[in-house]
A and B are shown apart, each in its own frame.
Chain A
Amino acid sequence: MTFGKLIERIIQLIPVLLGVSLIVFIMTLLTPGDPVQIMLGDQLVTDDLERSLRRDMGLDLPPHERFFTFLANAAQGDFGTSFYHRQPVWDVIASRLPATIELSLMALLVALVTSIPLGVLAAVKKDSIYDRLATVGSLFGVSMPGFWFGILLLLLFSVHLRWLPVSGNASFASQVDPITHLLLVDALLRGRFDAFWDALKHIILPAITLGLPMTAILMRVTRASMLDVLNRDYITFAEAKGLGKFQILAKHALKNALIPTVTVAAIETGSLLGGNMVVETVFGWPGLGRLVVESIFTRNFPLIQAAVLLYAVTYVLLNFIADIIYTILNPRVKL
Chain B
Amino acid sequence: MNIQRLAVIAMLAGVLSAPETVAAQELRVGFTADALTLDPANHRDRGTETIIRNMFDGLVTRDSSMKVVPEIAEGWQALDSTTYQFKIRQGVKFHDGSDLTAEDIKFTIDRLVKENAMGGQTSPRQSLLGPITNIEAVDDHTVVIKLDSAWPNLPAMLPFQEVVSKAHVERVGEPAMADAVNGTGPFKLVEWRKGDSVIMERFDDYYGGATDIAPVGKACVERVIFKIIPENASRVLALLSGDVHIINSVTPDLAREIEAHPDTDVVAVNGTRTTFIALNNQEGPFADIRVRRALAHALDRQIIIDRILYGNATLTDGILSPDAFGKNKDLPGYTYDVDKAKALLAEAGYPEGLEVTLDADGSTKELAEVIAVVAKRAGFDIKVAIGESSTLKSRYRTKGGPIDGQMWLTSWGNGSLDPVGIFVPTHRTADRGNSSGYSNPEVDALLDAANTETDPAKRAELYSKAEAIVSSDLPNIYLWVAQDLYGVSKKLSGWQPSSDSRINLHDACLN
- Report A's interface with B, CB cutoff 8 A: 31-34, 37-46, 48-49, 52-53, 56, 84-87, 92, 95-96, 99, 150-151, 154-155, 158-159, 161-173, 175, 197, 201, 281-287, 290-291, 294, 297-299
Contacts and interface: CB of A to CB of B under 8 A. Distances in A.
Given A49-B124, A95-B194, A284-B230, A172 B199 contact: yes
Interface stretch (B39-47, B204-212, B285-293, B374-382): B39-47
23 contacts: A32-B394, A37-B393, A37-B432, A38-B393, A40-B127, A44-B421, A46-B130, A52-B115, A52-B122, A84-B44, A86-B42, A150-B234, A155-B237, A159-B237, A162-B17, A162-B241, A163-B16, A166-B237, A167-B30, A284-B230, A285-B195, A286-B193, A290-B195
Interface in B7-42: 15-17, 20-22, 26, 30, 33-34, 36-37, 42
Given A44-B420, A163-B16, A286-B196, A297 B390 contact: yes
Contacts of B230: 281, 284, 290
Contacts of A92: 194
A45 B433 CA distance: 11
B336 interface: no
B234 A283 contact: yes
A186 B228 CA distance: 23
B195 A286 contact: yes
A171 B20 contact: yes
Given A45-B425, A151-B233, A166-B241, 6 more contacts: A49-B122, A49-B126, A170-B193, A175-B191, A197-B15, A284-B196
Given A34-B394, A168-B196, A39 B122 contact: no
B243 interface: yes
A286 B237 contact: no
A104 to B, nearest CB: 15
Contacts of A159: 237, 240-241
A167 B425 CA distance: 39
A154 B413 contact: no
B492 to A, nearest CB: 18
B502 interface: no
B115 A284 contact: no
Contacts of A155: 237
Contacts of A48: 126-127
Interface string B45-58: 11000000000000
Contact of B228 (A49, A84, A286, A299): A286
Max chain B Cβ within 10 angstroms of own Cβ: one of A32, A46, A197? A32
B393 A33 contact: yes
B197 A44 contact: no
B421 A86 contact: no
B178 interface: yes
A173 B175 CA distance: 29
A299 to B, nearest CB: 6
Given A37-B397, A169-B196, A286-B194, A85 B243 contact: no
A281 B393 CA distance: 25
Interface string B423-459: 0010000001100000000000000000000000000
Contacts of B422: 42
Given A168-B227, A284-B230, A42 B413 contact: yes
Contacts of B421: 42-44
Given A95-B194, A96-B194, A163-B17, A84 B227 contact: no
Contact of B229 (A85, A162, A171, A284): A284
A282 B231 contact: yes
A281 B231 contact: yes
B388 interface: yes
Given A42-B425, A44-B420, A159-B240, A33 B391 contact: yes
B264 to A, nearest CB: 11
B157 interface: yes
A56 B243 CA distance: 40
A266 B42 CA distance: 41
Contacts of A283: 234
Interface string B397-417: 100000000000000111100
The 7 closest A-B pairs by CB, nearest first: A286-B195, A33-B390, A286-B196, A284-B229, A166-B238, A95-B194, A49-B127
A204 to B, nearest CB: 10
Interface in B224-255: 225, 227-231, 233-234, 237-238, 240-243
Given A38-B390, A286-B193, A45 B46 contact: no
Contacts of B133: none
B389 interface: yes
B234 A151 contact: yes
Interface string B131-146: 0000000000000000
B472 interface: no
Contacts of A172: 26, 197, 199, 223, 225
B389 A297 contact: yes
Contacts of B193: 170, 286
B202 to A, nearest CB: 14
B195 A96 contact: yes
B128 interface: yes
Contact of A284 (B199, B228, B394, B395): B228
A96 B36 CA distance: 13
B98 interface: no
Given A37-B432, A297-B388, A282 B241 contact: no
B493 interface: no
Interface string B172-201: 000100100000000000010111110100
Nearest to B390: A33
B364 interface: no
B463 to A, nearest CB: 16
Contact of B157 (A33, A44, A170, A287): A44
Contacts of B237: 151, 154-155, 158-159, 166
Interface in B467-496: none
B234 A86 contact: no
Contacts of A34: 394
Contacts of B229: 166-167, 284
B121 interface: yes
Contacts of B225: 172
A264 B471 CA distance: 62
Contacts of B26: 172
Max chain B Cβ within 10 angstroms of own Cβ: one of A44, A49, A52, A285? A44
B119 to A, nearest CB: 10
Contacts of A284: 196, 227-231, 234, 238
A85 B37 contact: yes
Given A32-B391, A166-B237, A167-B234, A84 B43 contact: yes
B128 A41 contact: no
B232 to A, nearest CB: 10
A150 to B, nearest CB: 8
A298 B238 contact: no
Nearest to A202: B196
Contacts of A45: 127, 425, 432
Contacts of B44: 39-41, 43, 84
A299 B394 CA distance: 12
B127 A161 contact: no
Max chain A Cβ within 10 angstroms of own Cβ: one of B30, B241, B243, B433? B241
Given A32-B391, A286-B193, A56 B122 contact: yes
A98 to B, nearest CB: 11
A130 B33 CA distance: 45
A291 B228 CA distance: 12
A86 B121 contact: yes
A294 B35 CA distance: 13
